[in-house]
Amino acid sequence: MPVPTPQHRDERDYPIIAHEGWPIVAAFVLAAGVLTGGAWALLGSPAGPLVGSVTGLLAMWAVWFFRDPARTAPAGAGVVVSPADGVCCHAGPAQPPAELGLDSATTWTRVSVFMNVFNVHVNRAPVGGEVERVEYRPGKFFNASFDKASEHNERCGMVIRTPEGERVGCVQIAGLVARRIVCRVGPGALLRTGERYGLIRFGSRVDVYLPEGAEARARVGQRMVAGETVIAALPARGAPARVEAPAAAAQGAEV
């Protein structure tokens, strides 16, 4: 179901739980109450407390999974930040997916961030600029930490053009247990560095494709904080490109 593009709200204006998670959190809490009450009524003690403990922990995990903490993006032109919380599982040369339309003759650097089921799963824009393209591709559900996930897994890719004219690719990749990718923006949307733009559930990965000349600063095994950890610096070249607001609000997609 399409949803409006972000409206550049202040970080503190967002709810502490991502809105895509509200129905799931509510379902977990409701199930915990029903199952615990049923166990008490039918089996009594100690079954009631045991069921209550297990279902209560699961409900708390659902809240934890969909949490959406405020972040402060670093200032500075050309700064590229991590799009996700997690661990860097790849940092090196790689060709971006064909559907992004990025120059295959250019040398690109890919930085991949793997999210486990305990990480924040709200994704953030690695750079500020205008969204040029959003492309969804169905696929398999290999473990997102595997390198082949970039090519074979279900994914949703986005290309952002910075005010300086650089193009950066950002690809949300479904994982072993992930079955839903949410991208809240569409072509024409304007994003700030570190701004929320989507979410994946559960356990997944985000790849960032950096143009030739970018200085990658991420290393494999490094822990990342979405919207805050600097993973690269874009080259300073060319004249600034004019980025205009779209005539109408761009739309995102949930796939």
pLDDT in tens, 73-113: 998 889 999 999 999 999 999 999 999 999 988 889 999 99
- pLDDT of 198 reads 93
- Do 140 and 153 meet the contact criterion of CB atoms below 8 Å apart? yes
Q: Catalytic pick from 82, 112, 145, 204?
A: 204
Residue 193: Cβ-neighbour burial (10 angstroms; 0-12, 13-18, 19+): buried
Q: Calculate the CA 244 to chain-centre distance.
A: 25
pLDDT at site 242: 41
- Domain ranges within the chain, ordered by starting residue: 19-65, 79-254
Classify 11 as helix, strand or coil.
helix
The Cβ of residue 82 has, within 10 Å, a number of other Cβ atoms equal to 27
Alpha helices in the chain (DSSP H): 22-43, 47-65, 149-152
Using omega within 30 degrees of 0 as the cis cutoff, is the peptide bond preceding 141 cis? no
Q: Collapse the DSSP code of 252 into the 3-class scheme (helix H, G, I; strand E, B; otherwise coil) and give the result.
A: coil
pLDDT at 253: 52
Q: Return the pLDDT at 15.
A: 77
Mark whether 145 is an active-site residue.
no
Q: CATH code for 79-254?
A: 2.70.70
What does the angle CA 120 – CA 185 – CA 169 come to, to the nearest 5 degrees?
A: 75
| Full-model pTM | 0.81
- pLDDT beneath 70: ranges in the chain: 1-11, 140-149, 152, 176-179, 203, 237-255
Secondary structure class of 53 (helix, strand, coil): helix
User: Tell me, what's the pLDDT at 251?
Assistant: 46
